[in-house]
Chain A
Amino acid sequence: DTEVTQTPKHLVMGMTNKKSLKCEQHMGHRAMYWYKQKAKKPPELMFVYSYEKLSINESVPSRFSPECPNSSLLNLHLHALQPEDSALYLCASSQDRASNQPQHFGDGTRLSIL
């Protein structure tokens, strides 16, 4: 069982909807990540939070809005998404952003945009 918990597991939404993805970890990790994974492809980094502050935004469109309310929680707010945004959204965490710290992934939210 993964120690990074993501909800919901599946989400279907229309292009005009607003929804949020949630991620939680209780390992005391201070770095948290959002990745996007298309079918048969590797994960692609979207955002990095370090000590609850956004430290990397990989030029992600503004219709994706991350939020880190505290050291255990990470949200991804979705608004006006496009069909090509359908993918598996993965959250990960690591002890900190040091270069040799392993990242642990959740099982993701499978998002479908109608």
Chain B
Amino acid sequence: GENVEQHPSTLSVQEGDSAVIKCTYSDSASNYFPWYKQELGKGPQLIIDIRSNVGEKKDQRIAVTLNKTAKHFSLHITETQPEDSAVYFCAARWLMEYGNKLVFGAGTILRVKS
């Protein structure tokens, strides 16, 4: 089945610096890769996603890159702010025989120090 590995598990950055979180996936048939941000007491919030026909996508301070050959994708946050502090999950859509499901990475705790 699909396996998604996410690194690092924790990341501390100074306000204004960039943060990068990396994920690798195992099933080359996976074709959709969302990123979620989860704040304390809240559900996961979709912040950006990328489909396998695209190599990079950007939305203001957030960007995602996808390398299909290497089967890895990364989240880049520039000019980090304290409100970016949260748990971030990557995911890959796994195409199964009887449907499809999101397989999540283990999560990254991002702390932005002011």
Contact = CB atoms under 8 A, between A and B. Distances in A.
Interface string A75-114: 0000000000000001000000101101111111000000
A28 interface: no
Contacts of B36: 105
A103 B34 CA distance: 9
Contact of A108 (B43, B89, B106): B43
Interface residues of A, number: 23
Interface in A42-94: 42-43, 45, 48, 55-56, 58, 90
Given A43-B44, A90-B44, A108-B43, A99 B95 contact: yes
Contact of B43 (A2, A58, A100): A2
Given A42-B89, A48-B101, A102 B46 contact: yes
Contact of A100 (B31, B44, B101, B107): B31
Size bin of chain B's contact surface? 20 to 34
Contact of B106 (A6, A41, A104, A105): A41
Contacts of A104: 46
B102 interface: yes
Contacts of A103: 34, 46, 102
Contacts of A97: 99-100
A43 B103 CA distance: 9
A25 to B, nearest CB: 12
Contact of A107 (B31, B41, B46, B98): B41
A86 to B, nearest CB: 16
Contacts of B98: 55-56
Given A100-B32, A105-B43, A106-B43, A40 B101 contact: no
Top 9 A-B residue pairs of the complex, sorted by shortest distance between their CB atoms:
A42-B104, A105-B43, A100-B32, A107-B43, A105-B44, A99-B100, A108-B43, A99-B93, A107-B42
